[in-house]
Amino acid sequence: MHFINKLVVAALPAIPRPMVRFFASRYIAGDSLEDAVACVQSLNAEEVRATMDVLGEDIFTQEEAVAAREQSIRVLHAIAHERIDSNLSIKLTSLGLKLDPEFCRENVREILKVASSHNIFVRFDMEDHTCTTGTVEIFRTLRKDFPNIGIVLQAYLRRTEDDARAMIAERVNFRLCKGIYREAPEVAFQAREEVQSNYVKVLGQMLRGGSYVGIATHDTVLIDAACEMIRELGLGKDKYEFQMLLGVRPELRKKLVAAGHKVRLYVPFGSYWYGYSVRRFKENPEIAGYIFKALFKINK
Ligand code: FDA
């Protein structure tokens, strides 16, 4: 990250929340479920599918986990009721993974019961490496009862190739992303090229192994490599889709749709927007400029 961007990101806690919120608005569908439904409707009108996510990660009490579970269930009912083209993404820490994995599993089971009654696919997001084993375990046990689910693997983790191999054999539905959390060199590749190269390697294994893959990246090097592989393997649209984040590289998304690929956008919403937005700012090369300009106008 550029030095100035690093400085701005480090200074974020001191920047007034309304201003952070202003810049975050491109990445977040809004505070309410109604906002998120409206966002998905407009994406659907552009032939873009969605995966909706209620923002919220680490929680501290079982009551908070139950509240998160109920919010996800409301999203599922809304998807069915509004007939929008969306599935659901969930984060297991928000459902109690770190409090008690058994309790978390039961919360997820309740969500999956509702999802399966509406025939809606559910994706398990992947968080930092301390959550990987727990997330994979809960995913694999619940998949026996609920086949319409998928998991995320992160190309920066050294363990991912092994995780992928085990799950490709079970024809798991994957989302493959680079990985967003700060991880130590012992567990994760650090250099951009290493992460890219592991991404391409694991993607090839997944696609050749017959798994459905959500190719989640805005990196043109990876998108070009994926397109090449899709051509070579002669894969149809029932084998893959591209996935991007709301507010990131919309021009690239339009190109992919125009080229005939299936594209799905990650649509986060809710009141816990701050942590998610700060992660997006860290990835955004233009953010320093935006925030400086805004501060300048405000202080003038
Ligand atoms: P990279 O960060 O190199 O971005 C490529 C280019 O895209 C940049 O050069 C820039 O031009 C543009 N860009 C990227 N981010 C931007 C931003 N915020 N604002 C403006 N421009 C930007 N991670 C994780 O650990 N667990 C998960 O479950 C998920 N889930 C997930 C779902 C989906 C649909 C996506 C697309 C991504 C995730 N991620 C994730 C995040 C992922 O791990 C990764 O951090 C981001 O996608 C950024 O990596 P890229 O592959 O896009 O490359």
Say whether pLDDT at 298 is over 50: no
Q: In 10 A of CB 187, how many CB atoms?
A: 14
Q: What CA–CA distance (Å, rounded) separates 24 from 152?
A: 24
Residue ranges per structural domain of the chain:
29-269
Verify whether residue 125 is a known catalytic residue: yes
CA 159 to chain centre: 19
Query: Percent of the chain scored above 90 by pLDDT?
Result: 79
Query: Percent of the chain scored above 70 by pLDDT?
Result: 94
Residues 268-297: tens digit of each pLDDT: 999 888 888 888 888 776 776 666 666 555
Say whether pLDDT at 221 is over 70: yes
With CA atoms as reference, report the closest residue to 115 among 148, 66, 84: 148
CATH 3.30.360.10 assigned to domain 29-269? The reply is no
Residues lining ligand 1, Cβ inside 6 A: 125-126, 152, 154, 177-181, 216-219, 243-245, 248-249, 266, 280, 283-285
Nearest CA residue ID for atom 18, ligand 1: 280
Q: Are 148 and 122 in contact (CB under 8 A)?
A: yes
Q: What is the mean pLDDT of residues 40-49?
A: 98
* Residue 299: per-residue pLDDT: 39
Residue 223: what are its φ and ψ, rounded to 5°? -65, -40
* Residue 57: per-residue pLDDT: 66
* Residue 176: per-residue pLDDT: 98
∠ CA 103-179-59 to the nearest 5 degrees? 30
* Residue 300: per-residue pLDDT: 36
- Catalytically annotated residue among 49, 175, 253, 264: 175
Residue 89 Cα: closest atom of ligand 1: 28
Verify whether residue 171 is a known catalytic residue: no
Instruction: Please give the residue that has the higher pLDDT: either 229 or 299.
Output: 229
* pTM for this predicted structure: 0.94
